[in-house]
Structure 1
Amino acid sequence: MPENPLKATIQTILYQCSGPISEHQLICELKARQLISDTSTLDSLYYIHFLVMNALYQLQTELLDQAWYLSISPLEINLLRTCTSSTDNALAEDVGGCLLRDYYLDWRNLEGVNREGLQKLMDQFWYRFAAWDQRSDALTVLGLNCTAQWQDIQLAYRKKAAELHPDKGGDAVRFREVRTAYEVLARTYKKGKHL
């Protein structure tokens, strides 16, 4: 695996943080240290984003061996001390199964991207974002949280539909809202996109 030019500095920054840091804050810190400069174009922004995420996922694996767990998301990157071997095993399994990790550790995903490919990635992101927003709203209508399984969704739908069905004196508008929410969630599960 090629050496990431930002990895050592990112590790130093993470050790110096007293709590979580966002990807944006991390990039600003790298700019302040003059390790990166241009983020004005989609190409340069993707390049920097990829380098940062690649470094983070490389560090996640390395630090796990040193009893640290690096939690990674764009809004919160947090270096946490692990305490038991069972925790280490669970975290190691989590690290091993991450699709994002696999994507960012594969340098071909940086080298092979052109403007058209970047636009396609952005379109996919916004499509998934909109789908996530619809799913989140639908779960709220059914009174469920984001961890709800398909069985929970079906049960909540049946209960709400029975309560609100117009033939049983219920509210027709709210019944349609519940039905629409169920249909949004059904499409999500039928396509295998458990967002």
Structure 2
Amino acid sequence: MNDDLAPSQDLTEQVLQLLQAAPDGIAEYTLIQQLKDRHSSHIPNLPLADKLVLFRTHFLLFNALYRLRDQLWQQRTHLLQISPLSIRLLPYQTGSAALSERDALRDYYLDMSNLQSTDERDVERLLTSFWTRMQGGEEKQAALELFELSDERTIDLPRIKLRYRQMVSEHHPDRGGSTERLQSINLAMEILQRYYR
């Protein structure tokens, strides 16, 4: 693995500056584009249409985000809300249990061996796992997870449609997304429309 894929404190500082300039939050794709515009040496300056490049770029950014979240929590300055559609700095709240529970995603992204050991075949498997779960009868849950709505208590069709529009905008091939991801989003929407009328 080359050195430009190693984690760096410099990347977390760049991310923090960009988040401070976006108080309403910022989507992952926009944040990646802004880092590329700044010529960040820690984000591969390659087209995101390549699945392995997309995975590595996503992984490096989320590694930096989780390291930054831990750092801000320890300094008691901010809470960092992390999701692909909205990454946002929030004011620190005393007594919040935000980081006290075990977070499987945090563990995954902070383990650099997951980046180093993931090849193109693995990325392909990750992308197709959504489709496999659909065919295995878990279509509603898989669709809600793809839309990052599975943990929300109240879900209705207007909320799903809003999330759908956000995801299509972010993952459209014209904006650096992949056709496969867009197909997954469209299928998830079709499924959720059957459950939420």
Q: Relative contact order (C-alpha < 8 Å, sep 6+): which is higher?
A: 2
Return the letter of the residue paired with 2:153.
T
The alignment of Structure 1 onto Structure 2 pairs a total of residues equal to 138
Unaligned stretches of 5+ in structure 1?
Answer: 139-144, 149-180, 182-195
Q: Distance in 2 between matches of 1:75 and 1:42?
A: 19
TM-score normalized by the length of structure 1: 0.61
Does the aligned pair in 2 maintain the 1:22–1:74 contact within 8 Å? yes
Q: Distance in 2 between matches of 1:121 and 1:115?
A: 10
Note the 1:22-61 alignment, pairs <5 A: 22-35=27-40, 36=43, 37-38=45-46, 39-61=48-70
Question: Closer, same or farther in 2 for the Cα pair 1:146/1:8, shift >3 Å?
Answer: closer
Partner of residue 153 from structure 2, selected from 138, 147, 151: 147
Q: What do you get for the CA RMSD once the two structures are aligned?
A: 3.0
Return the letter of the residue paired with 2:66.
Y
Does the aligned pair in 2 maintain the 1:136–1:146 contact within 8 Å? no
Unaligned stretches of 5+ in structure 2?
Answer: 1-5, 145-150, 155-194
In structure 2, the partner of 1:78 is 88
Percent of pairs identical after alignment? Answer: 32
Return the letter of the residue paired with 2:60.
L
Question: Closer, same or farther in 2 for the Cα pair 1:64/1:128, shift >3 Å?
Answer: farther
Q: 1:67-125 CA distances to partner (integer Å, 9 max, x unpaired)?
A: 211010101111111232x12xx1121xx411111100000000001111111111124
Note the 1:1-195 alignment, pairs <5 A: 3-4=7-8, 6-35=11-40, 36=43, 37-38=45-46, 39-67=48-76, 68-84=78-94, 86-87=95-96, 90-93=97-100, 96-127=101-132, 134-135=140-141, 147=153
Residue 6 of structure 1 and its aligned partner are, at CA, apart by 2.1
Q: Which is helix-richer, 1 or 2?
A: 1
Greater CA deviation, 114-123 or 5-14? 5-14
In structure 2, the partner of 1:159 is none
Which one has the largest radius of gyration?
1
